[in-house]
Amino acid sequence: MKFELQHTDPFSNARAGLITTDHGQIETPVFMPVGTVGSVKAVQMTELKEDIKAQIILGNTYHLYLRPGLDILQRAGGLHKFNSWDKPILTDSGGFQVFSLAENRKLSEEGAEFRSHIDGSKHFFTPEKAVDIQRVIGADIMMAFDECTPGDADYDYAKKSLELTERWLQRCIARFNETECSYGYKQTLFPIVQGCVYPDLRRRAAENVASLEADGNAIGGLAVGEPTEKMYEMVELVNEVLPKNKPRYLMGVGKPENLLEAIERGVDMFDCIMPTRNGRNGQIFTKNGVLNMRNERWKDNFSPIEEDGASYVDTLYSKAYLRHLINVNEILGLQIASIHNLAFYIWLVQEARKHIIAGDFSTWKPAMIENITRRL
């Protein structure tokens, strides 16, 4: 994987770059739709490519390992062939799922034992196994296995957790270096900076990760319960240390305004389930603010979902029609909302890129945040 830093904003740390993988190029900043079990919920691959204009999607190691399972994925020729997505794919390592299964998992030096959320069966992930699974999935960008520390963890827990993550990281790198992709193209491994909300731990973690000279680096363990301002503080601190000539991926973030704030602080890559999950619950993000489509006020509003929106669904359907579909739990409503929100997120980061290149990102961003955070 290669990264070219193309432009930097003169008044902030915002940057525009180009990532090159064997499955294509990615212009940054970039938002990655989340395809948890091999699909982005309610959205076809043709819509992702042609209308939403996604450049890369994310797959989930834990969920794909359980279903459809590694045998099926390997026999299919990897996730790209299984789900007919011919552009880049990034996989997480399963670390966040281990975090979210706190009541059904047990951590040790060797790895993490957990019970499946599907049938209660026991499984054991080691750093080596996380790499092996991602090799089978065939992601272009793989993530190191880590423990995602809760946002409210005390210092002692956060320190011990970081130390475990750093030992696991060394094992991930060793396994990655002694194995190869099964499908004839190159894969890369990103280490993850942890350390909770403690500046000395975050700085230490970032210095360790920077010293490894990986193709790119991730920032994890944020947007997991800590105050938003703490998240921004940690991102700023970490990006002071991480190398400028490598892409920086902020995992699992977040609201549209979070993306713009993080871009200003030097982040290049994002993923989040929010556009699809919130869309399925009737929340629509637009250039002029946020709509709750379940509200009575949209019942007889026959104007487009969004004038001059980012997707074909924006002018094809009215607010009244989308409200009706969502309120009667019609599957089409979930699909329209998901397509709209994903297209909006990707439009937003692409607009940020344009303004970084134009040199006026710092004046564009405050006005855009004011617009997109309105409640309509």
Distance CA 284, CA 277 (A): 11
Among residues 9, 92, 140, 314, which one is catalytic?
Answer: 92
Q: How far is CA 195 from CA 56, 154, 277, in A?
A: 27, 11, 28
The per-residue DSSP string of 253-278 comes to: ---HHHHHHHHHTT--EEE-SHHHHH
Place of tokens 């250039």: 287
Distance CA 182, CA 200 (A): 40
Alpha helices for the chain (secondary structure H): 45-47, 61-66, 70-76, 79-83, 95-100, 127-137, 155-177, 199-211, 228-241, 256-264, 274-280, 313-316, 319-327, 331-358, 361-372
Give yes or no: 271 in active site.
yes
SS3 breakdown of the chain: % helix, strand, coil, rounded to 5? 45, 20, 35
Among residues 9, 140, 146, 271, which one is catalytic?
Answer: 271
Place of tokens 């009244």: 320
* Conformation bin of residue 69: beta by default, left when phi > 0, alpha when psi is -120 to 50: left
Give the catalytic positions in this structure: 92, 271
